[in-house]
Copies of this chain bind each other. A is one copy, B any other.
Amino acid sequence: MASENNHFLAVCLRGAGQVFFMENALTGLLFIVAIAYASYDAGQWATTVGAIVGLLVATLTAMWMGNDKPSIQSGLFGFNGILVGVALPTFIAVSPQLWFYIIVGSAVSTVATAAFAATLTKSWGVPGSTGPFVLTAWLMVGGAYAFGSLDVTGDSARMASDYLSGAAVIPAADELVQIFFRNIAQVFLLGSAVSGVIILVGIFIASRPAGVAAALGSLVAMVCAIGMRVEPSVVIQGLYGFSPVLTAMAVGVIFLNTSGKVAVYALVATVATVFVQAAYDVVMSPLGLPSFTAPYVLTMYLFVAPKQALAPHAHKPVAEHQLHDH
C-alpha cells in the first residue's frame, strides 16, 4: 500500500521507517511521534526539529542529485539523514551554526549513501545501512570540538584504563523492563522507555517477524551485558542494546531468509554485537566520540558479506601480480 503513494510526505515518512528497515509510512510516523515524546519528556525540542530537518534535507538532496528513483521513494535516502538530525543536537548545544551544520551533514549523508551503494553494495552485495550516518556523525561531532561556535556537551574523553572492573549489581525487575524498551529507543538516541514502546508497536504494525526479532535482540543484549558485568548505569540507559537489536533484525529477518540455521547465526551475531559495542565504546572514548550504531554496522557487514562457494585465498602465489613475468 504505502509504496504506491509517492507524495513527498509519504516518501519522507518511509525514510523514518527505514531506520528499522520498515518501508511503511505509518510506522515512520510513529517513530517521529516517539522522538517527539522523548523531546516533550526532556523539555528540549532540538532533536525533534533536527530529525525533521535531517529527513527533509537528505531526501531533497537525493532528488536533486538524481539518485535512483525507486530507492528514494522507498525511503532509502532518508533514514541516514534523520539519524544525523537527531544525533547532532543530542551531542552539540543549540546555536545558529548548529543548524547550518545539520543541513550540510544531512546532505553529506545522502552523498555518502550513494557512495556506499557504489562500492560496498555494487561489489559485494553488502548493504550500506546506517554506515553513512555513523561516518557523517563521527565527522560532525569530532569536528565540533574544534569550532568555537559549537559546544560538545554529550561525551567526555576517557582512556581505556579509566574503566573500572569489579562487582556489578543485577538490575531490579522494573529496571529490566526499562532496559528492554530503552534498548529499542536508543536506535534513535532516545533515553525514554515509552518511546521504545511506541517504536516497537510501529515495527509490529509493519512486520511481525521484524518485531519479534527486535524484541529477542533486546532480550539477548540485556542478558549478555548483565552477564558480562557492564557498568549498570550504562546498561540501564539502553546503551548496550540498540546495536544488537538492529543486528538481530538485520541478520535474522531482513537480509537473510529466516530459518533455523539463520536464527542461530543471528544469535551469534547479536552476542558478538554486544562485545563489539564494548570495544567501540572503549576505543572511541579517547577520541571523544560516541559509538552510534557502528557496532551494528561492523558486525552486520561481517555476517552478511560471506557468499556461497567462495574460498579464502589459498597460501599460494596470487595471479597477475605486478612483479610476475608478463
Contacts and interface: CB of A to CB of B under 8 A. Distances in A.
- Identify which of A117, A150, A268, A311 gathers the most chain B CB atoms within 10 Å of its CB: A311
- Identify which of A115, A118, A146, A305 gathers the most chain B CB atoms within 10 Å of its CB: A146
A119 B272 contact: no
Contacts of A326: 66, 308
Interface stretch (A30-38, A45-53, A164-172, A213-221): A164-172
Contacts of A104: 268, 271-272, 275
B304 A127 contact: no
Contacts of A306: 65, 67, 111, 114-115, 117-118, 321-323
Band of interface residues on A: 35 or more
A108 B302 contact: yes
Given A157-B161, A324-B256, A123 B124 contact: yes
A68 interface: yes
Contacts of A77: 312
A287 B160 contact: yes
A245 to B, nearest CB: 15
7 contacts: A68-B310, A76-B314, A104-B275, A105-B275, A116-B312, A120-B313, A141-B279
Interface of A: 18, 21-23, 65-68, 70-71, 74, 76-77, 97, 101, 104-105, 107-108, 111-129, 138-152, 156-157, 159-161, 163-168, 227-231, 254-257, 259, 261-262, 265, 268-269, 271-272, 275-283, 286-289, 301-326
